[in-house]
Structure 1
Amino acid sequence: MKDSNKKIIIFDDDEDILSICSYILEEQGWEVHTFTDCNNITEKVSGILPDVILMDNWIPDAGGIIATQTLKKTEALKDIPVIYFSANSDIQILANHAGAQTFLAKPFDLEELERVINKVLVTG
C-alpha cells in the first residue's frame, strides 16, 4: 500500500515552513520531499517525479521563477503542477510569469494549502 502514496516536493529555504507543511501533508498520507535550494532542479524532480510541486519565490540560488520555467521547458516534467508560493504582493503576476498552475500567498493557513493542492490534483 505504501507505494501508492502521492508525492510532493516543497522547495523553500524556510525550515519552519518545510517542517509545518511536511507534518501536515504526511498526516494526510503524502510522501513529502523538501529542498532548501533549486540547484540541479531537473535532477531533483526527475529523481522523485512528484504529483505536485510547491515552489517558493525566493528559493536559492536561481529563484522560483527560473526554477519553474526550467521545469516547464523539460518535456518529462512539464506536466507536473507547480504551486507558486510567496509573501510578495505580486504573487499572481510572478506565478503567471513562472508558468505555475496556481499560487498560494504567504502566510497561508493549512486549509488553504490543502484546497490548492487538491485543486491542482483534480484539474491537473
Structure 2
Amino acid sequence: MKRILIFDDDADILDILKYLLADNGWDVHTRSNCNDLLEAVEACEPDIILMDNWIPDTGGITATQTLKNNERYRGIPVIYFSANNNIKLLADEAGADAWLAKPFDLNDLEIMLESYKQRSL
C-alpha cells in the first residue's frame, strides 16, 4: 500500500481527501501545518506528498524547498496544490515535482497520483 502525506490547513479538504484516497488504496496521513516538517515526514515515510501553498507556519514554498534540499527526502515527489492563480510559478519556485490548481477534479488528482505510484513500483 502506498503512503501519502497531505499538508493543508483546510480540515474539510483533509477529511475529503483522506476518505477518497483511502478508498482508493492509499495509506493517508494528514497535517494541518508544517511545524516539525522533517520529523513529520520521517515518522510517516510517505511515497508522495501533497503540499498546500498557504500551509502554516512556514508556507508551502519554504516547506517544499526544505524537503527538496534535504538529501534524505528530496526524492519524494511533491505535488503542490493551491487556489492561487500563479500555481505553476509557485510550484516552480518551491521546486515541486508537479502542481494541481484548486479546486481540482478528483479524477485529475487520482490520475496524477497513479502515475507517481506506477513510477515507484
Classify the TM-score, shorter chain. Answer: over 0.9
| Partner of residue 72, structure 2 | 76
Give CA-to-partner distance per residue, 1:46-98, whole Å, 9 cap, x none. 11110100000000000000000000111111100000000001000000110
| Partner of residue 110, structure 2 | 114
1:8 aligns with 2:14: no
Using the alignment, how far apart are the partners of 1:86 and 1:111 within structure 2?
17
Using the alignment, how far apart are the partners of 2:27 and 2:118 within structure 1?
18
Deviation at 1:123, TM superposition (A): 4.4
1:34 aligns with 2:30: yes
Structure 1 SS opposite 2:99? strand
Question: Which amino acid in 2 is paired with 1:91?
Answer: I
Compute the TM-score of the two structures, normalised by the length of structure 1: 0.93
Question: Which amino acid in 2 is paired with 1:79?
Answer: G
Using the alignment, how far apart are the partners of 1:8 and 1:31 within structure 2?
6
Deviation at 1:120, TM superposition (A): 2.7
Contact 1:51–1:81, Cα closer than 8 Å, also in 2: yes
Structure 2 SS opposite 1:55? strand
Contact 1:104–1:116, Cα closer than 8 Å, also in 2: no
Compute the TM-score of the two structures, normalised by the length of structure 2: 0.95
Q: How many residues matched?
A: 120
Structure 1 SS opposite 2:51? strand
1:56 aligns with 2:52: yes
Identity %: 56
Contact 1:101–1:120, Cα closer than 8 Å, also in 2: no
| Partner of residue 65, structure 1 | 61
Which runs of 5 or more residues in structure 1 are unaligned? none
Regions of 4+ moved over 4 Å: none
Contact 2:53–2:61, Cα closer than 8 Å, also in 1: yes
Question: Which amino acid in 1 is paired with 2:34?
Answer: C
